[in-house]
Structure 1
Amino acid sequence: MPHTFLLSGAVIGFVLCHLFVKSIFELSGVSRQFIKAEQRFPLELNISSWKTDEVAKQLFSKVRVLCWIMTQPQNLQKKTQHVRASWARHCNTVLYVSSETTDFPTVGLNVSEGRHNLYWKTIRAFQYIHTHHLHDAEWFLKADDDTFVVMENLRHLLCQYDPEKPVYLGHKFRVFIQQGYMSGGAGYVLSRAALQRFVQGFRSGQCQHFSSLEDMAMGKCMETMKVRAGDSRDEKERETFNPFPPTSHLLPPDNGKQSWGYSYYPTKKGPGCCSDYAISFHYISPIEMYVLQYYTYYLRAFGYKHRFNPVVSSNCTLKS
């Protein structure tokens, strides 16, 4: 009887392992197919009366964003490759930050993996970027390997700010920190001046690693170094950075009660939850990365006039 159980366990284990490996290879194939398809059907964005993607191209040159993706060795094939195949290609510069250097490629930092080391990884990542990439961009975005970001919408927000002033933006939470702090999962972006102050805070001892809660501890350092926690909502006071998937923001919970109370500003459910120019969503699976990529850049409703046409300043449309 014990031998029967042992044999059965071995067979079940083999089947589960086979299915897991098979799913990884299938998703790898999906990422390659998606890139090839996008090459066959080039992206063209129609923005009001401007020529195709002219505004997006101008902003790509004017509002340079370095994206660094927090990941780990076991996630490179499960998650990170799908970030690389989808939205990360719209960054000006992208770094994949892990505990090990690989040919993915990843930037390996001298930090162990685990949730209790997330803030250490964040500190070391920004210090590395300050040393090696400070002048490669004006803005520096931190995102997780399960965050989806619409880079064009991020640049539309950032073009209204001066990167030489200390500010950081994201989905603002109201607890613990007086001025609020930005959700780590939704992603947050630092101006060059904010990055410089963050690094200076650790050099001077004004900032410390005092908590494993990465986003809250980051917010404490930002407040200490007098980096303003900006308001990233759109003109209609709808959130652009979102800490959950679209369904969690659009649909009310089954019990009808508000399930999230950390947000700095009042939250809404339904189509008014999020900006038409939403920037990010969190807890996005690999398959959902490609679905959101399609919805963002390809799906259009014929003959439909968009409900929201924000004022676009000359800073966002004219070349320097």
Structure 2
Amino acid sequence: MTGPRNLESRTRHVKATWGGRCNTVVYMSSEQTDFPTVGLNVSEGREHLYRKTIGAFQHVFQNHLDSADWFLKADDDTFVVPENLRLVLSGLDPGRPLYLGRHYSPFVQQGYMSGGAGYVLSKEALRRFVAGFESGQCVHDTEVEDVGLGRCMQTMGVQPVDSRDLGGRHTFHPYPPHFYVVRQHPRNTPWYLLYEHYPITEGPGCCSDFAVSFHYIKAVEMYELTYLTYHLRPYGYHYRDPPDPRRNLTPNDTAAAPGRGGAR
């Protein structure tokens, strides 16, 4: 998700870093350009973001449904590690109505996924999302994109997936790494922790070794995180075997469901 003003300051840096590690990337904007961007019939601005997201998923459904099993929505200031995302998805069936990301609790009975951290819809979840608006079961009744999508997911019977690793550490992060890995002094709990569906740990144990995303990442930080993720290695260090993020839960668990499907 991007806009005309962000192509040079943000989007080209996504394209130069993690975007190239995806199977298919589509850049959604209000204007069609040679970048390339897809021009959606919607105005720019935070108040139009949910309508823009609806149009983006409708475009993907019409043009890219058979290109992948899973569909990630990410902002132009989100850093993603696609290899870790594929690992998280590898034990799940894209034929089931599933979506995952950073699970927040308020406003929707089953919760919803943070928009900034990025969220993923299975192929069946994408079908149901588009069908919900075609049938009128889902409506554009809020300017808050991630809450609106979460309401539609609940209406259409799409289950939220627990994306934490087996150690209970989060893989999707709505803020940069320093919001989590630096141990904080006692303080009033910030809103983004009050929204959490699962317990949160601040400090070194906060985040999975297989972290998938961080949000509010500046252009220069895209390259820094790319270097730290793919190139920096401590000589002679023997990596411990971290908890596998894939979760094998029963079909009745609203967090996840097992399957043989994988990301493509």
* TM-score, normalisation: structure 1: 0.75
Letter in 1 for 2:182: L
Matches of 1:248 and 1:128 in 2, distance apart?
34
Q: Which structure has the larger Rg?
A: 1
- Determine which structure has the larger helix proportion and give its number: 1
Matches of 1:209 and 1:165 in 2, distance apart?
24
- Please give the residue correspondences for 1:107-146 in structure 2 after superposition, counting only pairs within 5 Å: 107-146=38-77
Structure 1 position 310, deviation (Å): 3.8
- Please give the residue correspondences for 1:224-243 in structure 2 after superposition, counting only pairs within 5 Å: 224-243=155-174
- Please give the residue correspondences for 1:19-30 in structure 2 after superposition, counting only pairs within 5 Å: none
- Please give the residue correspondences for 1:1-320 in structure 2 after superposition, counting only pairs within 5 Å: 70-253=1-184, 256-259=187-190, 260-311=193-244
Structure 1 position 173, deviation (Å): 0.2
Letter in 2 for 1:96: Y
- Work out which structure has the larger RCO, using CA pairs closer than 8 Å and 6 or more positions apart in sequence: 2
- Conserved 8 A contact 2:174-2:214: yes
Letter in 2 for 1:265: Y
- Conserved 8 A contact 1:252-1:258: no
Residue of structure 2 equivalent to 1:33: none
Q: Deviations over 1:31-69 (max 9, x none)?
A: xxxxxxxxxxxxxxxxxxxxxxxxxxxxxxxxxxxxxxx
Matches of 1:245 and 1:187 in 2, distance apart?
13
Q: Deviations over 1:108-133 (max 9, x none)?
A: 00000011100000000000110011
Matches of 2:239 and 2:126 in 1, distance apart?
36
Q: List alignment gaps of at least 5 residues for structure 2.
A: 247-259
- Stretch moving more, 237-246 or 258-267: 258-267
CA pair 139-185 structure 1, distance change in 2 beyond 3 A: same
Q: Deviations over 1:135-194 (max 9, x none)?
A: 011110000000000000000011110000000000000001111100000000000000
User: Paired residues, what number?
Assistant: 248
Backbone CA RMSD of aligned residues: 1.8
- Conserved 8 A contact 2:24-2:67: yes
Structure 1 position 300, deviation (Å): 1.1
Matches of 2:129 and 2:30 in 1, distance apart?
21
Structure 1 position 255, deviation (Å): 5.2
- Conserved 8 A contact 2:93-2:261: no
Matches of 1:190 and 1:141 in 2, distance apart?
7
- Conserved 8 A contact 2:94-2:261: no
- Conserved 8 A contact 1:245-1:281: yes
SS in 2 for 1:206: coil
Letter in 2 for 1:154: L
Structure 1 position 103, deviation (Å): 0.4
* TM-score, normalisation: structure 2: 0.90
Structure 1 position 303, deviation (Å): 2.2
SS in 1 for 2:121: strand
Matches of 1:128 and 1:159 in 2, distance apart?
25
SS in 1 for 2:87: helix
- Conserved 8 A contact 2:210-2:245: no
- Stretch moving more, 296-305 or 147-156: 296-305
Letter in 2 for 1:165: R
Letter in 1 for 2:67: D
Q: Deviations over 1:63-94 (max 9, x none)?
A: xxxxxxx1000000010000000000000000
Structure 1 position 271, deviation (Å): 1.2
